[in-house]
Amino acid sequence: MAILEGRQEFKIKEFFKLSQFGILIAIGVLWWSHQYINIAVKTFNSSFLSEFFN
């Protein structure tokens, strides 16, 4: 709203910082890895490590 009213300036270069690309990559990796969560949980639960967390 402030941009439309002229109280705030829209700077497109603020959206293209290196940290923003890192966040975008992290979100992409997490989104892609969701398909493997069930496999990882089943594998962990059947391993000896799961005995330490029960």
Q: Is the pLDDT of residue 7 over 90?
A: yes
- Answer whether 44's CB lies under 8 Å from 50's CB: yes
Contact 18, 12 (CB under 8 A): no
pLDDT at 15: 78
Task: Report the C-alpha gap between 19 and 34 in whole angstroms.
Answer: 23
- What's the mean pLDDT in 28-33? 94
pLDDT given at position 25 = 94
